[in-house]
């Protein structure tokens, strides 16, 4: 999904932010970016979102060289990347609900989709009962959760969190990480830049360590590199039906000819998100459910169930090349 190929960033001959950095990130990975202040973590993030350009090297996102993206198309590219900032960057004059909705409105979403998606995201981060408050009325953990909800508004392929637990107590930090883990389980790639040793150790995921602008280790394990085996280039974590746990409805015989991801289903992003909350992650799983079973899913109900049924009929009847 992401490839850094011998990327360097020099601000002048004496200030080297990154030097000859190369690594790959596969779709669905969860990884940490660690290293001391000045190691190059923030520079790497700025390069990835095209806030700055590298001095040399290539950065690919879904096989597209991001330097080839014209400036007027950068907002479209950046919609694929959600960023959660350490200082939150919430709009102080808007409520939490308005902060999340605004991220959808500026992309031209219809009012009903804005409402459904905002409701779903506020529920995900546990802020439904705080949605009418302004940022100054929230705790640090609540502001961070609001920032996550806003970053997820346009269903990004990649979620970057820059020191998401830096100003939080340990209990709140792990609540934030649980949300990010849930997002990753839905299929979103998650990259976290952090100094939080306890969080990194507890999560036991891939860790890329930067020092003086270069990668000094890339492995799975804790903050200090304690791991059972070195991290090899990860394979894409495509969700298999057999690997889906805690299904709310007893799984029936699968249909191996159609196991497409929910992103191919012509329904709103809010409906897809609600399905994933019910551990429904493929179209194949939906085809195994009756309409009454769909209605019984948490947060679906009659109207959304009918929308899903209509979308399934459209998908199944579409020519194979359109399904692909």
Would you state the pLDDT for residue 261?
67
Of 45, 48, 60, 52, nearest in space to 193 by CA? 45
Domain edges within the chain: 2-221, 241-323
CB 41 within 8 A of CB 194: no
Give DSSP secondary structure letters for 31-53: EEEE-STTSSHHHHHHHHTTSS-
What is the pLDDT, as a whole number, of residue 264?
A: 75
Spelled out in words, what is the top-level CATH class assigned to the domain 2-221?
alpha beta
Report pLDDT for 285: 75
Other beta carbons less than 10 A from residue 207's beta carbon: 27
Question: Where would I find the beta strands (DSSP E) of 194-252?
Answer: 205-211, 214-221
Mean pLDDT of the chain: 83
E strand or H helix at 317:
helix 301-317
pLDDT over 90 at 270, yes or no: no
Say what the pLDDT of residue 280 is: 80
What is the rounded CA–CA span in Å between residue 118 and residue 98?
9
Q: What is the mean pLDDT of residues 25-30?
A: 95
Q: Which among 201, 109, 112 has a CA at the least distance from the CA of 155?
A: 109
Tokens found for residue 276: 């994933």
Residues 148-168 have a mean pLDDT of: 91
Instruction: Report DSSP state, residue 121.
Output: H
Q: How many CB atoms lie within 10 A of CB 12?
A: 6
Has residue 97 got a pLDDT over 80? yes
Q: Which of 103-107, 241-245, 295-299, 315-319 comes out lowest in average pLDDT? A: 241-245
The predicted pLDDT at position 160 comes to 96
DSSP alpha helix (H) spans, 125-216: 140-151, 170-185, 197-203
pLDDT value of position 278? 78
What percent of the chain is predicted at pLDDT more than 90? 53
Looking at mean pLDDT, say which of 17-21, 184-188, 271-275 comes out highest. Answer: 17-21
DSSP 181: H
Mutual angle of helices 269-277 and 301-317, in 10-degree steps: 100
Q: Looking at mean pLDDT, say which of 116-120, 279-283, 310-314 comes out highest.
A: 116-120
| Span 190-244, pLDDT tens digits | 999 998 888 999 898 999 999 999 999 999 877 776 544 343 333 332 333 233 3
Mean pLDDT of 44-56: 95
User: What secondary structure letter does DSSP report for 261?
Assistant: B
Q: For position 241, what pLDDT does the model report?
A: 26
pLDDT band at 28 (very low <50, low <70, confident <90, very high): very high
User: Looking at per-residue confidence, does 162 or 265 come out higher?
Assistant: 162
Beta bridge partners of 210: 215
**Cβ(223)–Cβ(207) below 8 Å:** yes
Please list, residue by residue across 283-307, b when 16 or more beta carbons sit within 10 angstroms of its beta carbon and e when fewer do. Answer: bbbbebbeeebbbebebbeeebbeb
- Average pLDDT (115-137) is 94
**What gap in Å lies between CA 153 and CA 314, rounded to an integer?**
26
0.85 exceeded by the pTM?
no
- Show the tokens assigned to 115: 């409402």
Q: How far apart are CA 82 and CA 67, in angstroms?
A: 19
CATH 1.10.287.3510 assigned to domain 241-323? The reply is no
Res. 290 pLDDT band, cuts 50 70 90? confident
| Residue matched to tokens 């992309």 | 107
The token duo for 231 is 């991290």
74 versus 251: the higher-pLDDT residue is: 74
- Quick one: tokens of 282? 């493929």
290 or 109, which is more confident: 109
Q: Taking 90 as the threshold, does the pLDDT of residue 3 lie above it? A: yes
**pLDDT (average), residues 35-50:** 92
* Dihedral sign from CA coordinates of 141, 25, 54, 200: positive
Please write the tens of the pLDDT for every residue from 54-73: 999 999 999 999 999 999 99
């Amino acid at each position: 999904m992401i490839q850094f190929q011998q990327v360097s960033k020099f601000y002048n001959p004496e200030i080297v932010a990154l030097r000859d950095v190369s690594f790959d990130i596969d779709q669905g990975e969860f990884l940490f970016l660690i290293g001391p202040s000045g190691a190059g973590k923030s520079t790497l993030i700025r390069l990835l979102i095209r806030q700055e350009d590298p001095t040399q090297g290539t950065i690919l996102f879904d096989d597209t060289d991001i330097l080839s993206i014209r400036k007027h198309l950068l907002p479209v590219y950046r919609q694929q990347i959600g960023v959660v900032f350490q200082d939150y960057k919430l709009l102080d004059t808007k409520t939490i609900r308005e902060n999340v909705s605004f991220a959808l409105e500026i992309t031209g979403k219809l009012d009903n989709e804005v409402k459904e998606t905002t409701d779903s995201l506020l529920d995900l981060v546990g802020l439904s009962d705080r949605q009418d408050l302004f940022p100054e009325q929230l705790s640090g953990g609540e502001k961070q959760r609001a920032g996550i909800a806003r970053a997820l508004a346009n269903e990004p392929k990649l979620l970057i969190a820059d020191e998401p637990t830096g100003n939080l107590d340990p209990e709140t930090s792990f609540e934030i990480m649980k949300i990010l883990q849930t997002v990753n389980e839905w299929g979103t790639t998650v990259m976290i830049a952090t100094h939080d040793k306890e969080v990194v150790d507890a999560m036991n995921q891939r860790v890329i360590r930067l020092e003086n602008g270069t990668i000094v280790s890339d492995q799975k394990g804790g903050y200090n590199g304690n791991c059972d085996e070195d991290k090899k280039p990860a394979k894409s974590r495509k969700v298999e039906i057999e690997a889906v746990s805690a299904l709310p409805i007893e799984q029936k015989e699968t249909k191996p000819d159609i196991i497409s991801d929910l992103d191919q289903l012509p329904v709103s992003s809010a409906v897809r998100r609600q399905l994933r909350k019910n551990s429904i992650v493929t179209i194949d799983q939906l085809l195994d459910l009756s309409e009454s079973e769909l209605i019984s899913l948490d947060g679906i109900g009659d109207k959304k169930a009918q929308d899903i049924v209509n979308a399934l009929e459209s998908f199944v009847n579409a020519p194979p090349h359109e399904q692909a």
